[in-house]
Chains A and B, each alone.
Chain A
């Protein structure tokens, strides 16, 4: 009797072993397919940027380049050296840096302050303030282009990097506030109470007690804001042109303004250069990104 039961257990055991093995291999298969799917465009970009135009014309998309040829990268970054009509990324790259650094800093800082007030210094109607701020996350940017252009004009900072800093700061605040509010909600208010009894004021509590523990959410916010602002095309193309344009606008101009032949290798190199800073930010701070996004879900 017992033998019978044991042998049926054995059969079930075998069966589930095979099922698990199959599922595991299937999982790997699917993952590999997805990985290839995602890496394919990047592969094409990198490979194309390293080819000469000759190679591009003769080979296919996937053909390996004959050698490491960085000429098209140099052209994309520094131009060909002749005067009019030569667009290259270098000045616009610095435009973007000059725009993104202050905009990220101010929007993060203001968001942190706002999140701190909305969670630790509650006031009458604070829920409404938060709700209206949230609206800012959902407003389509196209809807505010005209009023914003007018505002920048009145302030006298249209077509300037400063104007773009202002626009990106203002439109970053709803998101940064949301991030910081949700983070600070999970930090016990007793900390603030203890600090008040210890005699610390509004700013001291913020700088000495809350800000030092906010690293994960600061990193999340910086990544988010950096990516948003660096990759923005709409504000950049609307509120700036010529010299003051950020890199994404310049990239667009460069690719579209080619007169005779399409230089795919230079286009690809430019696109990669325009994407590198966000990649760097992700690689450096990526682990905090996941940690920061999930913080608050588990108790510290």
Chain B
């Protein structure tokens, strides 16, 4: 049984297509993050799961039951919003029990739930306050509490942290993670922040233009991006994508860029399909953190590149190098001293590279 299953789901607003043939599945207790740039359709997808938007095509199943025509309140879900959406005229207590009262739950049961949840989230001292008298973090807690008291099957989070300042955001991120570890409920979480996605999700679905680009574990998303969009979206700075060609001779495969004699051997690369490789136009992808200033392992590729720019950001520095007139970024500890405008010896960790077809932009 899948807690949530979405089949061939499409949605348009008028003539604009927002979601195209979305398929998704979540197992009980998993934490799925919908990640993507703004306007990619992730919030719409969440609203559809909640029942707040209609579907044009396809179905949504919760616990194997098709809920496409079920009212939001009957879907056994709870949602936490970006603006918290606490009812301004009600105090914290009324906010948290509003849903239960609508559902005609008995008074004793309501009190019991309220006490349990408010203690758990440490908002029991705030019950008589109005939302306007709470800090951002407290409001966030109350919003989560309002979702928790209903004991839903699925939690939906719509960018819940993006209204908080940077420090609080990191704190609340940890709290949400703890919450999920303790309660083991199923979560669908929408964000545009990759750090949030990576640290919270057991699964991440990366979306762009209404299509899921890759749905995988955080490790696979980071290490084996399925196309250049994912490669570029995840990581800061994002993956270097160097344009060039593959060269195959006597069972040895290497990567060359136009008009240069640099040849990077890539025999160890795990190709999806190992045919027709010769002369194929590709992007050679390597993350800035996989370029080193001293040898890290035996097969590292050694290369001399000119350093053009240095960006100091405290614990580390981002260096820009010139690779045959293409920019290559590398991340080093800030203690390393590298001279600008001079050639520096660098080491590419070839076990960590990705290759993409330059035309389809898909991983090969």
Contact = CB atoms under 8 A, between A and B. Distances in A.
Q: Is the interface of B mostly helix, strand, loop or mixed?
A: mixed
Given A193-B52, A193-B79, A199 B85 contact: no
Nearest to A192: B85
A253 to B, nearest CB: 47
Interface string A211-241: 0110000000000000000000000000000
A208 B81 CA distance: 19
A117 interface: no
B212 interface: no
B81 A193 contact: yes
Given A196-B52, A199-B103, A213 B88 contact: yes
Interface string A123-154: 00000000000000000000000000000000
Given A209-B89, A213-B89, A197 B77 contact: yes
Contact of B89 (A194, A196, A212, A300): A212
Contacts of A197: 50-52, 72-73, 77-79, 99
A194 B85 CA distance: 7
A191 interface: yes
A200 interface: yes
Of the listed residues A190, A198, A300, the one surrounded by the most CB atoms of chain B closer than 10 A to its CB is A198
B88 A212 contact: yes
Interface string B132-148: 00000000000000100
Given A199-B73, A212-B88, A213-B88, A194 B102 contact: no
B98 A191 contact: no
Nearest to A205: B87
A193 B44 CA distance: 13
Interface string A27-68: 000000000000000000000000000000000000000000
A198 B85 CA distance: 12
B73 to A, nearest CB: 4
Contacts, number: 58
Contacts of A190: 81-83, 85, 158
Contact of B98 (A200, A212, A213, A300): A200
A196 to B, nearest CB: 5
A213 B89 CA distance: 6
A196 B88 CA distance: 16
A196 B72 CA distance: 7
Contacts of A188: 81, 83, 85
Nearest to B102: A199
Contacts of A198: 73, 98-99, 102, 146
Query: Size range of the interface on A?
Result: 10 to 19
B72 A209 contact: no
Interface string A170-206: 0000000000000000001011011111111000100
A199 B104 CA distance: 10
Nearest to A194: B85
Q: Is the interface of A mostly helix, strand, loop or mixed?
A: helix
B79 A194 contact: yes
A213 B85 CA distance: 13
Contacts of B77: 197
A198 B50 CA distance: 11
A193 to B, nearest CB: 5
A300 B130 CA distance: 14
Nearest to A215: B89
A43 B83 CA distance: 52
Contacts of B98: 195, 198, 200
Contact of B102 (A200, A212, A213, A300): A200
A14 to B, nearest CB: 44
Interface in A238-281: none
A194 B52 CA distance: 10
Given A190-B83, A194-B79, A199 B99 contact: yes
Contacts of A212: 88-89
Contact of B73 (A191, A196, A209, A213): A196
Contacts of A300: 88
A197 B46 CA distance: 13
Contacts of B78: 197
A212 B102 CA distance: 18
A190 B162 CA distance: 15
Of the listed residues A188, A197, A199, the one surrounded by the most CB atoms of chain B closer than 10 A to its CB is A197
Contact of A191 (B47, B50, B85, B103): B85
Interface string A1-35: 00000000000000000000000000000000000
Interface in B57-99: 72-73, 77-79, 81-83, 85, 87-89, 98-99
B49 to A, nearest CB: 11
A195 B87 contact: yes
Contacts of B85: 188, 190-191, 193-194
Contacts of B82: 190
Contacts of A195: 87, 98
A212 B103 CA distance: 22
Nearest to B132: A300
- Closest 7 A/B residue pairs (Cβ): A212-B89, A199-B102, A198-B99, A199-B73, A190-B85, A194-B85, A190-B81
24 contacts: A188-B83, A190-B82, A190-B85, A193-B50, A194-B81, A194-B85, A194-B87, A195-B87, A196-B52, A196-B73, A197-B50, A197-B52, A197-B77, A197-B78, A198-B99, A198-B146, A199-B73, A199-B99, A199-B102, A204-B102, A208-B87, A208-B89, A212-B89, A213-B88
Interface of A: 188, 190-191, 193-200, 204, 208-209, 212-213, 300
Given A190-B81, A197-B72, 8 more contacts: A197-B50, A197-B52, A197-B77, A198-B102, A199-B73, A199-B102, A212-B89, A213-B88
